Amino acid sequence: MKTKIFSVLFLSSALFVALNAEAANCNFTRDLGQGSWGEDVRCLQQYLGSSGSGYYGAPYQNYMIPDGFFGPMTTQAVMQWQTTKSLPPTGYFDAASRAKYVEPAGGYGGVGGYYGGNTEEASARQRIDEALRMMEDTRDEIDDSNRNTSSAEDSLEDAEDNMLEAVHEFFVNRDFAEAYNLADDAYRDAEDAFEDAGGDRSSGDKEDAQDAINDAEDAINDAEDEIDDARRRGVSITIIRRAENFLDDAEDRLNDAEDEYDDKNYDDAEDFARDAENLAEDAMDEVN
């Protein structure tokens, strides 16, 4: 049985790695222009420097460093890309550019076109990934369990069978709805097996997680005050934008922490909250 789960994990992981090598999936939720700062800018820069961008090898690509800061070279690279996509070459990555980015490309080559352009496909891929992680956790729990795990073993075997079918539907038949359903069945089978083996998913220390969330909230509030004060002091708009980008990332991490806390995943909640606190401190460092 262990041979089967290792085969499932290896096959699925290898296929996902191969596809991700073809296309980095960026998530753009705001307009980007000169002076913008953040991981979304870095992802845009990496995309513009990839073969999937449609203008790989253009002059400005050769000098653009994916450092997360939207500077003159990135502006020129965006203008070049916009020209290849029949967009006005403004150098500003706006709503029209985001729409063109996620436009289905009809194959593996288009970043966003392969995963980002098909919600059903992206949902199936995410559920397969979640099920694989649950299966790995379940196998570890069964191996460490001191109780009779025959029922858990049976449920995990059902999960493995469903996962093999899900992978087949996803990569061979391209039936993403069926792939999602099968992956969801695999997840639930693995979850049942995890509990049968004595696993407790409400891991971590609840009090530590709550303390970390409170600290992150305080840091974010302090960062907001510092940024407002920086505006009054006439700090440059470029610095303000960098700080605001850090603050946006901090708020996103805090939301993740609160979601994990609600799901009783206290270790993950604490980690996300600490990340949020650090990002808020980075925002304050920018304006001080």
> What percentage of the chain has pLDDT greater than the value 70?
77
End-to-end CA distance of the chain: 58
pLDDT-derived band at 7 (thresholds 50, 70, 90) equals low
Helices (H), the chain: 2-22, 39-48, 72-84, 95-101, 119-144, 150-168, 176-196, 206-232, 237-262, 266-287
At 32, give phi and psi (nearest 5°): -125, 135
pLDDT of residue 8: 54
pLDDT-derived band at 80 (thresholds 50, 70, 90) equals confident
CB-CB contact of 112 with 22 (8 Å): no
CB-CB contact of 127 with 69 (8 Å): no
In this predicted structure, the answer to whether residue 60 has a pLDDT above a threshold of 70 is no
pLDDT of residue 146: 86
Q: Indicate the helix (H) or strand (E) that contains 197.
A: none
pLDDT (mean) for 118-136: 78
pLDDT of residue 126: 76
pLDDT-derived band at 23 (thresholds 50, 70, 90) equals very low
In this predicted structure, the answer to whether residue 269 has a pLDDT above a threshold of 70 is yes
Residues 6+ apart with CB under 8 A from 33: 70, 75, 91, 92, 93, 94
The structural domains of the chain, with segments of one domain joined by +, span: 2-18+118-196, 24-101, 206-287
pLDDT of residue 103: 61
Q: Which of 194, 140, 190, 187 is nearest to 166 (CA)?
A: 187
Considering the entire predicted model, what is its pTM? 0.42
pLDDT of residue 41: 87
CATH topology of domain 24-101: Muramoyl-pentapeptide Carboxypeptidase; domain 1 (1.10.101)
pLDDT of residue 219: 94
Distances (CA, A) of 25 to 102, 111, 115: 10, 6, 7
pLDDT (mean) for 149-153: 91
Per-residue model confidence as pLDDT tens digits over 210-261:
999 999 999 999 999 999 999 999 999 989 998 998 899 899 999 989 988 8
pLDDT-derived band at 43 (thresholds 50, 70, 90) equals confident
In this predicted structure, the answer to whether residue 118 has a pLDDT above a threshold of 60 is no
pLDDT of residue 20: 42
Per-residue model confidence as pLDDT tens digits over 175-205:
889 999 999 999 999 988 988 888 775 555 6
